[in-house]
Amino acid sequence: MKTTETGLNQCYVIEPTIHGDERGYFLESYNQSNFNAALGFKVDFIQDNEAFSTKGVLRGLHFQKGEFAQAKLVRVTQGKVLDVAVDLRPESSTFLKSFTIELSAENKKQLFVPRGFAHGYIVLSETALFNYKCDNIYNKASESGIIYNDNSLNIDWILDPLDFNISDKDKVLPTVKSLF
């Protein structure tokens, strides 16, 4: 497994070792001991989730507040997405900085998003299966988010905004300035 810093504190790109031959390939998508050793700190994932979406679906930017904050390990097992992480930890030297990466079934990259980050993605392929591990349970009362097109974040979502498919809930999320 290869771990690469993203430029955001404690946020890493994870690339599994792929063993392939003419029959196909094998990879270990997650091994707790190796994962924690690579990060240099302990993360205990307790839940796996999967989302299926079509091209242009934009989910985010979401996070959970307080005791229900979640770290996530995200990957795509079918299709391709642009994945976005935003550091929302005021004490962090990378506060309000963002990182984007293309995650796909083809490149098999994963992104570790620590607690205290907003996270979202947009589907770039016709369809995508997005998988993620969480280290804390979902709590509806603790959910929050930031509007995807917040000018202060200046995120390039790659696709034409006319092609975005966004939930009504995500269309009315607040700006960063209204949260801090």
Question: Which residues does the annotation mark as catalytic?
Answer: 62, 132
- Residue 96 contacts by C-beta under 8 Å, 6 or more apart in sequence? 86, 87, 88, 152, 153, 176
Q: How many CB atoms lie within 10 A of CB 117?
A: 28
Q: Which amino acid is at 75?
A: R
Bridge partners (DSSP) listed for residue 64:
143
According to DSSP, the β-strands at 80-87 and 143-145 are: unpaired
- Residue 173 contacts by C-beta under 8 Å, 6 or more apart in sequence? 61, 144, 145, 146, 147, 148
